Structures are given as C-alpha cells and as structure tokens.
Amino acid sequence: MSERTKTFAAVDLGASNGRVMVGRVGPGTLRLSEAHRFPNRPVHLPEGLRWDILGLYGGVLDGLRAAGQVDSLGVDSWAVDYGLLGADGALLGNPVHYRDRRTDAVAEKVWATVPPDELYRSTGIQHAPFNTLYQLVAAQGTPQLATARRLLLIPDLMTYWLTGEQGTELTNASTTQLIDPRTRDWARGPAARLSVDIGLFAPLRRAGDPAGVLLPHVLEATGLRGPVPVTTVASHDTASAVAAVPARPGERFAYLCTGTWSLAGLELDAPVTTEASRAANFTNELGVDGTIRFLRNIMGMWLLQECMRTWGESDIAPLLAEAAELPALRSVVDAADPVFLAPGSMPERIATACRATGQPAPATRAGTTRCIL
C-alpha cells in the first residue's frame, strides 16, 4: 500500500437494515464511519413473503453517493437467499424471504432421498428449514425456476447490478448446503440426486478476487468517478465479521456475532462432520484463507425487531430503559421455538407461549421486551 490514505466502501446488508460504511486506511490507521443506513423490510405479497430487493438496491446507491469517492468497494449480506435471472439477465421477481412458509416439511422430502446424516457428512451444514437447498427443492416445478438461467445469492446479485459481472462468492455459497467444506467446491453428488441444477450458479469466487468495475449508469447515479473497482469480499456477513476478530495467527478464540441471528462458534482449520456435531446442530461454514466457521445459530434480536415493527417503534432506548425496571425472569419463553420463526403478531405469540406454560403474559411493551431479553 502507498503512503497515502485509501478509502473503501463496505455495503453491509442485514436482515433488518442495510448500511454503507466507509473505511479510510492509512499507514497504521483505520477510521470507520457510517455513510448511510436504510431499512430492510420484507413485503407480504399474495404469493408469500418477499424481499424488497429494489428498495435495498436503491439504498445501496444512496449510500455510495453519501460515501463519496472510493478506491474500491465490496458487498456482504445475510445468507441462503437468492434471486433468479432469465436468459436476458433480468431478475425474475423479488427474491423469496427465508422466513416464507414454502419450505415447511421440505426437509423430510429431501431426507427421503439423501438421509440427514449423509447430507451432513457431505456438506457439514446444520439443519435449518430455510437453507438454500430446501428452498430450491421447494421451488421445483415452478415456472420461475423452470425459466431461470442463473441463480445469484443476494450479495452476488447486488454486485452483478453494480458491475454487470456474475459470480458466486464461496463463504456465502457454503451456507447453501450444496458445498463440500473439504474440497471447497460443489457437493455435486447430493445435488444431482435431489435434481438441483448446480449449473444455475455462477462460477465460484473467493475473497480478494476482482468482481468488476462500476457500470457507467451506476457512476452517474452515485456521482463517483470511474473506474471504481469492486472487490469480492467474504460476502456472508458473519464471515467478514469473524475475519475482523483481532486475533493473532494461531491464537484460539471464540466469537459471538449478534444481529437478527446470533452466531456462536470457533474458527477451525478443518470441518467437523461427526455424528455428535450433527446431533448438536453445529454448522461448518467456510471462512477466509481456508478457515472453517464452526458455529451454532442462536435466535438473536429477531423477536424484539419483529415486536418493534408490530408496535411501530423505531427507538429501542426507551423500551430498554423501561424493561430494565421490571423484575427479571418473570416469564421465560424458548426463543428457538419454531413458532417464533415467521413474521407477524410476535407480541401475541409471545403472550400465548407464556400462557401455555402457566406463566403470566406480558401486559406492556416493556414487559414483552424484558421477556425477550
């Protein structure tokens, strides 16, 4: 790196909001600032729950405009979800939200062809009903999937719209339950048995690979001067977060990464695909530089985020202050219960769960907040 300070933009898309961060890197220094933050609200349509992907893209452009001139940028997001493109490269509808009900009972259909222990040995990925594999099996026979000629995971879709170049970044690809963590390539055997077309995916890319340059109309929309290169990053947001842990080479550490989901785990050199690991529902997601993120998904702030959306609340500070004044552990629910997975009526579902277990149902917003926390 030259002695001059360089400026980078990080497009970070989470399940509840997105942001564009600016990092200024100089000799021995790193300064971070938030250029723009924007909401990520799922949309209920007659056909199901969908992401407002065009709204997210607009937020990205607004963020890049606010960031100002940059030397390069990269995109990360949540995992498992994707957009389908037709032969002309156009998006075939809004991407399905992973909390959509289309994958209900699909796992059992998959396991009838590839038993769960065999699937885990092949991919190392924990069972979650919304994994990309189950989404694709659920979509089989639909006109949209039949028409599709390309599948891009969410950060790869954003990168494609910015650059016109298609690729599949490896850390996010590993969450699809279609990657072999030992070879770091597609698990073609299980995919073929389940009639999942690996050819829909663009070629694999790794963090650090070039991902193209901003297209002329993107430069015009953002006010940036070209050429602006886009760099492939660890596009699963947790992979980028773990890569940023300030651990020395060879140092053993654990991490807890908290957002809509919380993820607790270790960074390993090789996957663990034993039966004990599968029974504990640990997952082996790929990290940067040949590492494995051995972790468990834990329900994070989703319940509180969904309650706040229901209440029309945008400021969490007053809720936390009021909740702190209430008695601890008055009512306790299992946040990992599948009943809390879907959006909608979250305060009511929490109250119902409390009553079903003989506990007092929270009567106020602060009481519900205390129960969740």
Q: What is the pLDDT of residues 6-53, one digit of tens each?
A: 999 999 999 989 999 999 999 999 999 999 999 998 999 999 999 999
> 303-314: per-residue pLDDT in tens?
999 999 999 998
Helix (H) or strand (E) holding 49: strand 48-50
* Distance of alpha carbon 264 from alpha carbon 352, whole angstroms: 29
Query: In this predicted structure, what is the pLDDT of residue 3?
Result: 67
Per-residue pLDDT tens digits for 99-113: 999 999 999 999 999
Cis peptide leading into residue 46 (ω within 30°): no
Same domain, 209 and 119: yes
Q: And the tokens for 239?
A: 């992979």
Q: Is residue 1 part of a domain?
A: no
List CB contacts of 119: < 8 A, sequence separation 6 or more: 110, 111, 177, 190
Q: Would you call 236 helix, strand, or coil by DSSP?
A: strand
- Residue 165, judged by CB atoms within 10 A of its CB (0-12, 13-18, 19+), counts as middle
Beta strands 168-169 and 204-205 are parallel
The answer to whether residue 334 is catalytic is no
| Residue 356: partners with Cβ closer than 8 Å, 6 or more residues away | none
Whole-angstrom distance, CA of residue 76 vs CA of residue 73? 10
Tell me the CB-side half-sphere exposure of residue 161, using CA atoms within 13 A: 20
156 strand-pairing partners? none
The residue among 37, 34, 29, 33 whose CA lies nearest residue 13 is 37
Residues 98, 47: one domain?
Answer: yes
In the chain, the amino acid numbered 34 is E
14 and 119 share a domain? yes
Is 71 a member of any domain? yes
If 0-12 CB within 10 Å is exposed, 13-18 middle and 19+ buried, where does residue 21 land?
Answer: middle
Query: What confidence score (pLDDT) does residue 248 get?
Result: 87
Burial class, 286, CB count within 10 angstroms (exposed 0-12 / middle 13-18 / buried 19+): buried
Query: Do 47 and 195 sit in the same domain of this protein?
Result: yes
Mean pLDDT of 154-173: 98
Tokens of 222: 């953002």
Domain that holds residue 359: 302-372
Question: Of the residues 239, 254, 281, which one is the last residue of a structural domain?
Answer: 239
Number of Cβ within a 10 Å radius of residue 149:
13
Q: What is the mean pLDDT of residues 317-322?
A: 96
Q: Return the SS3 of 256.
A: strand
pLDDT at 154 over 70: yes
Same domain? For 198 and 159 the reply is yes
Residue 142 backbone phi and psi in degrees, to 5: -85, 150
The answer on 343 and 312 residing in a single domain is yes
| Domain shared by 271 and 169, yes or no | no
* Cα radius of gyration rounded to whole Å, the chain: 21
Q: What is the DSSP letter of 252?
A: -
Q: Is the peptide bond before 227 cis (omega within 30 degrees of 0)?
A: yes
Give the CATH number, domain containing residue 36.
Answer: 3.30.420.40
Per the domain annotation, does 219 fall within a domain?
Answer: yes
pLDDT bucket at 4, cuts 50 / 70 / 90: confident
Same domain for 70 and 34: yes
**Using 50, 70 and 90 to split pLDDT, how confident is the model at 249?**
confident
Q: What is the mean pLDDT of residues 237-245?
A: 95
Q: Stretch 199-227: mean pLDDT, rounded? A: 98
For the beta carbon of residue 212, count every other beta carbon within 10 angstroms: 19
Residue 111, classed as helix, strand or coil, is helix
Establish if 226 belongs to a structural domain: yes
Closest CA to 70 of 25, 36, 3: 25
Residue among 259, 281, 260 nearest 117 (CA): 281
In a domain, 81, yes or no: yes
For the chain, the average pLDDT equals 96
CB 255 within 8 A of CB 239: no
Cα first-last separation, the chain: 44
Same domain? For 271 and 209 the reply is no
Q: How confident is the model over 308-322, as a mean pLDDT?
A: 94
> Whole-angstrom Cα distance, residue 265 to residue 283?
9
Beta pairing partners, 169: 205
Q: How many domains does the chain fold into?
A: 3
- Quick check: helix, strand or coil at residue 273? coil
25 shares its domain with 145? yes
> Residue 32: its pLDDT value, please?
97
Strand 6-13 and strand 72-76: pairing?
parallel
What are the tens digits of pLDDT across the range 324-356? 999 999 999 999 898 999 888 999 999 999 999
The pair of structure tokens assigned to 332 is: 């306790």
pLDDT at 1 over 50: no
| Tokens linked to 18 | 């997105």
**136 and 124 within one domain:** yes
Last residue of a domain, one of 221, 239, 257: 239
Residue 157 belongs to some domain of the structure = yes
The catalytic residue among 237, 269, 315, 334 is 237
- Domain boundary among the residues 299, 325, 340 is at 299
Asked if 116 and 193 sit in the same domain, the reply is yes
Please give the share of the chain, as a percent, with pLDDT higher than 70: 99
